[in-house]
């Protein structure tokens, strides 16, 4: 069977809203070419082993497994991240956080110490490291399996020397034996996090509940459990003038603004919208100390 014949066959079987695109992406992955090359060579005949790989992949997709897990990788901010079912699939909405973080760090060279809380695949921390060569990043996650994926991605993009990975719940409680970094309080410039923020009952009604790790999605009764916990402890880790950047669920804008104003009366607080116009990013900038 050639490419021109196979693609319509795949489209007829693939679930989801974009079966044609998914078919092209999957076939390009199997053949080791970009989609444009694929479409320019409809006459190419696939070998029997290649057809077997395609068939196995289609079966996984028909069973509800997300395409990025079937491929084993997914693009984020121009980088091709390895992903497994142990981590959340990187999404375009998170690029707003990364874009603003990179711009803020570049604006002042002395800003170099970053914490990526709940790193997952490492999408936030690794991307920041590739764009800010002087950045030194502490990437935390409660899941050892997720940290293994993040470490692999850091090595893949040659930024592993910039990032220290630590297993903990949000932020470490104290200096951990064997860790190389200086985990002193009040020394970090930026804390980034894309924490679980979907309310538990809402999550159980979503298709993603069956396909991606609940540990990376479930934000508790109102979706803000982990955000509350992080906001309560994050200031202790930040230097004067430090910033917190949190991705939020689109409906949580007013709730997180109220929470932030209650906790940070002296801070500069902003809520940013994503390209779709949805509330997506909470930014809190702590005041800079004024010398007397």
The pLDDT tens digits for 190-241 are: 999 999 999 899 888 888 888 888 889 889 999 999 999 999 999 999 999 9
Instruction: Indicate yes or no: pTM above 0.85.
Output: yes
In angstroms, the CA 150 to CA 253 distance is 29
Examine the pLDDT at 290 and tell me if it is beyond 70.
no
Domains of the chain in start order, with CATH, are: 3-64 (1.10.8.10), 86-285 (3.40.50.150)
Q: For the residues 174-201, what does the mean pLDDT come to? A: 77
Q: How much is the mean pLDDT over the chain?
A: 92
Q: Residues 176-204, buried b or exposed e (16+ Cβ, 10 A)?
A: eeeeeeebeeeebbbbbbbbbbbbbebbe
Q: Over 86-109, what HEC string results?
A: CCCCCCHHHHHHHHHHHHHHHHCC
Give the model's pLDDT for residue 182: 59
The pLDDT tens digits for 106-141 are: 999 888 999 999 999 999 999 999 999 999 999 999
């Amino acid at each position: 069977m050639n490419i021109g014949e196979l693609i319509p066959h795949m489209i007829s079987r693939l679930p989801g809203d974009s079966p044609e695109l998914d078919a092209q992406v999957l076939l390009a992955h199997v053949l080791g070419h970009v989609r444009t090359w694929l479409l320019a060579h409809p006459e190419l005949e696939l070998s029997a082993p290649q057809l077997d790989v395609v068939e196995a992949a289609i079966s996984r997709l028909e069973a509800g497994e997300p395409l990025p897990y079937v491929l084993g990788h997914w693009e984020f901010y121009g980088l091709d991240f390895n992903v497994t079912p142990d981590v959340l699939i990187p999404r375009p909405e998170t690029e707003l956080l990364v874009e603003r973080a990179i711009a803020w760090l570049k604006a002042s060279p002395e800003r170099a110490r970053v914490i990526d809380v709940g790193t997952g695949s490492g999408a936030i921390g690794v991307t920041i490291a590739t764009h800010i060569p002087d950045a030194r990043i502490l990437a935390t996650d409660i899941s050892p399996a997720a940290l293994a994926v993040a470490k692999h991605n850091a090595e893949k993009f040659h930024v592993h020397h910039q990032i220290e990975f630590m297993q903990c719940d949000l932020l470490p409680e104290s200096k951990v034996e064997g860790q190389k970094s200086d985990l002193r309080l009040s020394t970090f410039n930026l804390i980034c996090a894309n924490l679980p923020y979907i309310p538990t009952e809402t999550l159980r009604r979503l298709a993603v509940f069956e396909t991606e790790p609940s540990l990376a999605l479930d934000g508790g009764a109102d979706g803000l459990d982990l955000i509350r916990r992080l906001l309560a402890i994050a200031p202790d880790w930040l230097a004067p003038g430090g910033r917190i950047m949190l991705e939020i669920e689109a409906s949580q804008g007013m709730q997180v603004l109220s929470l932030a104003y209650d906790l940070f009366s002296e801070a500069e607080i902003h809520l940013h919208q994503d390209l779709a116009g949805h509330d997506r990013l909470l930014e809190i900038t702590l005041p800079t100390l004024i010398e007397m």
